[in-house]
Every structure is written in C-alpha cells, then in structure tokens.
Amino acid sequence: MRIDIITVVPELLKSPFEASIMQRSIAKGLVEVQFHNLRDYTDTKYKQVDDYQFGGGAGMVMQIEPIDKCISKLKSERDYDEVIYMTPDGETLDQGMANTLSLKGNIIILCGHYKGVDQRVRDHFITKEISIGDYVLSGGELGALILCDAVIRLIPGVLGNETSALTDSFQDGLLAPPIYTRPADYKGWKVPEILTSGNTPKVEEWREEQAYIRTKERRPDLLEE
C-alpha cells in the first residue's frame, strides 16, 4: 500500500512512522508513505495556503489551488483508490472502515487545518471523509496518524503473528477478553485457573464468554448492532 499525506505541518507526521509497527511495515516493503508539504504547491511570497472566508466569519480557509496542484500531480503519477479528507464532520472511523481501507492499493490523505478546506475541494477531489471522533483537533494530522496506524497493522504480513490482529477488540464485533501473562500468582492476585489448565477448548469458551460480558458491561451498543 502507498499512502500520500498532504499537510501544512509535515513535522507533525514523520516520527510515528520511524518506530514500532508502522516503521516495520515500511522496512518490510509492505507500505510506502510520502509526505507532501502543501506550501510547496504555492507561488505566493509567504507560501500562504489559506485565505479569509467569503461571506465573513472567524477563521481561515485552505485554498483550492495548492490542493488541486498537489492532488493532480500525484494522480498523474499513479491511480488512487481513495482521496481521504480528515475532518470532524466525516464518517467516524471504526474497525470495519480500517479493514476495508487495509485492502486498498494507493490512498491520499488530505489533512485539514484552520477552519478546513474550501468546499470545492471536498466536492471535486475527495472520495471519503473521515473523523476520528466527536471532538475538534487543531488539524487533521493526528487523525491521519491514527487512521494510518489502524489500517497498516491490518495489512497481511505487517504483524508478525497473523492471528493477533484477528483477535483484536472489534474484529468480531466484541471487545477483547481480559489477558494475563506470567507470573500466574503475583502478591496473591491469581490468573484465572482455566488459563493455566492447558484445556484449549475450555480456554476459548472462557474467552468468548468474557468478551461477551465485557462488551455487555462497557459497550452494550455493540451488541445491539
């Protein structure tokens, strides 16, 4: 998968791709990520990419021209499956959306800033608008990172143990069950006996039951779906 991220603050984005799973996905050649500074697509003196709103009102709006230039250049080089805009009024990111996106080849992610982008960008270039939750960030960059992390870990071969993404919370519509590691007894706080019994079918049964209980307690809305 190739991910092109368009931003006015590339320095916010780089380091998360230099560590852990996202770094490994790149090192394994499974993912390529390129950052594009929108200011490189403007000829104005101060590299300005925003302007006042028509009709008045507080807050600046990202202009269409630099965005058009950047997206059009990328599209002239390869085909893209999605051009995503990170915005609080987009569709809320969930595991199903991450699964779908992990199967795509090339995607562009446009990070909004200031009040957001000129509506014509959304009308003519964007194929999908994504929010990471009902709160407003200073820009789309942190949302883009969350999206990339959620998607990249699902790409086959990225996680060492293929089953570990399949047993994540939400993958089967339920939250994940409690997990434990050694020691089996810490200060008298014991691991549930079933987990050390070696009885795999019983362990599976216990996990399914616990996942259900946890989901019912914490996220009953998931069971209604």
| Contacts with ligand ADE, residue ranges (CB under 6 A) | 86-88, 112, 131-133, 135-137, 140, 143
Q: How far apart are CA 71 and CA 93, in angstroms?
A: 23
Q: How far is the CB of 68 from ligand ADE (least distance, A)?
A: 21
Supply angle C-alpha 164, 202, 188, rounded to 5: 85
C-beta nearest to ligand ADE: residue: 143
Please tell me whether 136 is known to bind a ligand: yes
**Which lies closer to ligand ADE via its Cβ, residue 46 or residue 135?**
135
Please tell me whether 137 is known to bind a ligand: yes
| Distance from chain centroid for Cα 222 | 20
Question: Are 146 and 100 spatial neighbours (Cβ–Cβ below 8 Å)?
Answer: no
Question: Are 161 and 155 spatial neighbours (Cβ–Cβ below 8 Å)?
Answer: no
Direct distance between the N- and C-terminal alpha carbons of the chain, in angstroms, rounded to an integer? 31
Question: Are 5 and 144 spatial neighbours (Cβ–Cβ below 8 Å)?
Answer: yes
**Which lies closer to ligand ADE via its Cβ, residue 66 or residue 143?**
143
**Which lies closer to ligand ADE via its Cβ, residue 16 or residue 112?**
112
Q: How far is the CB of 222 from ligand ADE (least distance, A)?
A: 21
The structure tokens listed for 220 are 């009953």
Please tell me whether 112 is known to bind a ligand: yes
Q: How far is the CB of 204 from ligand ADE (least distance, A)?
A: 37
In whole angstroms, how far apart are CA 28 and each of 23, 69, 105, 157, 168? 9, 31, 16, 9, 22
Q: How far apart are CA 214 and CA 25, in angstroms?
A: 31
Give the number of other CB atoms < 10 A from CB of residue 19. 9
Please tell me whether 135 is known to bind a ligand: yes
Question: Are 141 and 8 spatial neighbours (Cβ–Cβ below 8 Å)?
Answer: no
Q: How far is the CB of 115 from ligand ADE (least distance, A)?
A: 10
Q: How far is the CB of 203 from ligand ADE (least distance, A)?
A: 38
**Which lies closer to ligand ADE via its Cβ, residue 146 or residue 195?**
146
**Which lies closer to ligand ADE via its Cβ, residue 66 or residue 112?**
112
Please tell me whether 133 is known to bind a ligand: yes
Detail the residues annotated as belonging to a binding site. Answer: 112, 132-137
Detail the residues annotated as belonging to a binding site for S-adenosyl-L-methionine. Answer: 112, 132-137
